[in-house]
Chains A and B, each alone.
Chain A
Amino acid sequence: MKHMLKYILKRLLIMVITLWVIITLTFILMINIPGSPFNSDQSSNETVQANLEAHYNLDQPYYIQYLLYIKSIVTFDFGPSIKQPNQTVNDLLSRGFPISFELGIITIVLAVISGILVGIIAALRHNGFLDYLTMGIAVLGISIPNFILATLLIQQLAVNLEIFPTATWRSPAHMVLPVLALATGPMAIIARLTRSTMLEVLTQDYIKMAKAKGLSPWKVIFKHALRNALMPVVTIMGTLFAGILTGTFVIEQIFAIPGMGRYFVESINQRDYPVIMGTTVFYSAFLIIMLFIVDVVYGILDPRIKMHQKGGK
Chain B
Amino acid sequence: MERILEVTDLHVTFTTYGGTVQAVRGVNFHLDRGETLAIVGESGCGKSVTSNAIMRLIPDPPGKITKGNIIFKGQDLTAYSEKKMRAIRGVDISMIFQDPMTALNPTLTIGTQLMEGLKEHKKITGAQAKQKAVEMMDLVGIPNPEERLKQYPHQFSGGMRQRIVIAIALICDPDLLIADEPTTALDVTIQAQILELFSTIQERTGVSIILITHDLGVVAKIADRIIVMYAGKIIESGSKRDIFYRPEHPYTQGLLNSVPRLDAKEELKPIAGTPPDLFSPPKGCPFTARCPFAMEVCDKVYPVSERISDSHQVDCWLQDERAKRLMAAEVLQT
Contact = CB atoms under 8 A, between A and B. Distances in A.
A3 interface: no
27 contacts: A204-B102, A205-B97, A205-B99, A205-B102, A205-B103, A206-B102, A208-B57, A209-B168, A211-B89, A212-B89, A213-B89, A213-B116, A213-B120, A214-B87, A214-B117, A214-B120, A215-B117, A215-B120, A219-B116, A219-B120, A224-B108, A227-B108, A303-B106, A303-B152, A303-B154, A304-B152, A304-B154
B55 interface: yes
Interface string A198-239: 000000111011111111100100011001100000000000
A302 B106 contact: yes
A206 B106 CA distance: 9
Contacts of A209: 95, 97, 103-105, 165, 168
Nearest to A302: B107
A224 B99 CA distance: 17
B86 interface: yes
Nearest to A231: B107
A214 B56 CA distance: 11
A210 B86 contact: no
B121 interface: yes
B216 interface: no
B91 interface: yes
A212 B106 contact: no
B182 interface: no
B154 A211 contact: no
Interface string A227-259: 110000000000000000000000000000000
A282 B89 CA distance: 55
A228 B106 contact: yes
Given A205-B97, A208-B97, A303-B154, A214 B104 contact: no
A210 B97 contact: no
A68 interface: no
Interface residues of A, number: 22
B105 A212 contact: no
Contacts, number: 75
A214 B154 contact: no
A68 B149 CA distance: 57
A214 B89 contact: yes
B99 A227 contact: no
Contacts of A55: none
B88 interface: yes
Contacts of B107: 227-228, 301-303
A170 interface: no
A219 B57 CA distance: 16
Interface in B70-107: 86-91, 94-95, 97-99, 102-107
A212 B99 contact: no
Interface string B146-183: 00000010100000000001001100000000000000
A208 B97 CA distance: 9
Interface in B95-138: 95, 97-99, 102-109, 116-117, 120-121
A214 B117 CA distance: 7
B105 A213 contact: no
Contacts of B121: 214
Interface in B289-319: none
Interface in B36-76: 55, 57
Contacts of B152: 303-304
Nearest to B83: A216
Nearest to A216: B86
A311 B169 CA distance: 32
Given A206-B103, A213-B90, A214-B90, 8 more contacts: A209-B105, A211-B57, A212-B94, A212-B169, A214-B120, A219-B120, A303-B109, A304-B152
Nearest to B88: A214
A313 B90 CA distance: 29
A22 B194 CA distance: 58
A302 B152 CA distance: 10
Contacts of A204: 102
A216 B152 CA distance: 23
Nearest to A204: B102
